[in-house]
Amino acid sequence: MRIGILTGGGDVPGLNPAIQQVTREACARGWEVVGIRNGWAGLLGINPDDDTSQAARLMTLDPQTTRGIDRFGGTVLHTARLHPDTVREADMPDFLQAAAKYDERRWADMTPHILRVIEHLKLDALIPIGGDGTLSYAARLGEEGVPVLAIPKTMDNDVQGTDVCIGFPTAITRSIQTVHDIRSTASAEESIGVIELMGRHSGETALMAGHLGSADRTAIAEVPVDVAALSELLWNDLSAGGEAGAVMVVSEGAQLVGIDADTAATPARTDKFGNKRLGGVGEVLARDLTQRLGVPAFSLQLAYLMRAGAPVSQDSMIARAFGTLAVELIASGQTGRMTALQEGKYTSVPVSRTGEGAAQVDVDRYYDAKAFSPRITRPGIAQSLSF
């Protein structure tokens, strides 16, 4: 048995433990493990007619080459944000330019080439580790007949079918610590600290960080933010007595209602897929709060610090469990699946679940939109959100 493994999208803590565990479990069965560098871009860049193209894109994985990698963040296989079914002309390898068929957007579907490379490499199974973008393409390969076994990772925790993804526990831990740390400055200055956390479509990171860090207010991506109502609540928090100052968290994807368009303007940026690059809502909100309330407000964009560095223990544990489960499923002939953690139990779901769009917070169940506050109090909720 010869299996390939790759990591796609943004890096998160826990990827290296997952790679290491897959390698250990597979090699213990006498299998061969091939690491594919730079995610789907690594496969795209391999020319089956030129063996030299493999040297920079493939890595032999065994217990020796992966020894000690679990101590570090990032991924030894590196990563890239590229989907082989929407390859831009600028990202197309030179040897494929002549054969590429571009649409009106100058994008090309290079899946036939990817299938040829997988066959050329004699891969009996492929383990992609990624978020919904990376894994939605894994589902496409599954439909094409490739035996895939996906592992979910994203600090936004927005992959359908699993309660927890690799990277989420570390992001929450870092965010909680920041809430606690910033409170000292907000209290000293009797000001409002606004902490912006990553979360384009899902506010679960903000929800859990706000809940576990005891933030005064929490604004999530799923609910438009009535800034006038929020400012009144924060004013009450400042006036409540006891600890001075107030701290709130906000998802980067939150929509602010009631702020002048010119005031709310942030630099327009897009990624290679045309998606708007987010970031800056915290600064806009803090500036508006200062104007409305006449008290100092400052913002902190935690950004990549949420995903940098070594994983916390929960991430290492989940990554290793997912790695072991992935190999066990392949060994039993169960491919076209994704490892998952549901209500505290490790299981698997069809990888096609990743095509259902980003998972979002159940607002009615977990969030008080009027109070801008998590509502994690009902029986059973602690189990469903546990990691």
CB of 161 closer than 8 Å to CB of 354: yes
Residue 99 has what pLDDT?
A: 87
Would strands 345-350 and 225-226 be described as parallel, antiparallel, or unpaired? unpaired
Residue 355 has what pLDDT?
A: 82
Q: Tell me phi and psi for residue 264, to 5 degrees.
A: -85, -5
Provide the pLDDT confidence category of residue 380 given band limits of 50, 70 and 90. Answer: very low
Say which amino acid occupies 39.
G
Is the pLDDT assigned to residue 271 strictly greater than 60? Answer: no
Half-sphere exposure of 279 (CA within 13 A, CB side): 12
The neighbouring-strand residues paired with 350 are: 337
Higher pLDDT, 308 or 384: 308
Provide the pLDDT confidence category of residue 277 given band limits of 50, 70 and 90. Answer: very low
Most distant CA pair in the chain, distance: 73
Q: Is 156 a catalytic residue?
A: yes
Residue 259 has what pLDDT?
A: 85
Catalytic hit among 132, 156, 158, 315: 156
Is the pLDDT assigned to residue 326 strictly greater than 80? Answer: yes
Inter-CA distances, 315 with 10, 25, 78, 90, 204, Å: 16, 18, 18, 36, 16
Q: Which residue shows structure tokens 């189990």?
A: 383
pLDDT in tens, 1-20: 999 999 999 999 999 999 99
Residue 270 has what pLDDT?
A: 53
The neighbouring-strand residues paired with 250 are: 196, 219
Is the pLDDT assigned to residue 135 strictly greater than 90? Answer: yes
Q: Which of 70, 2, 93, 84 is nearest to 39 (CA)?
A: 84
Which residues, at least 6 apart from 94, have a Cβ–Cβ distance to it below 8 Å?
A: none
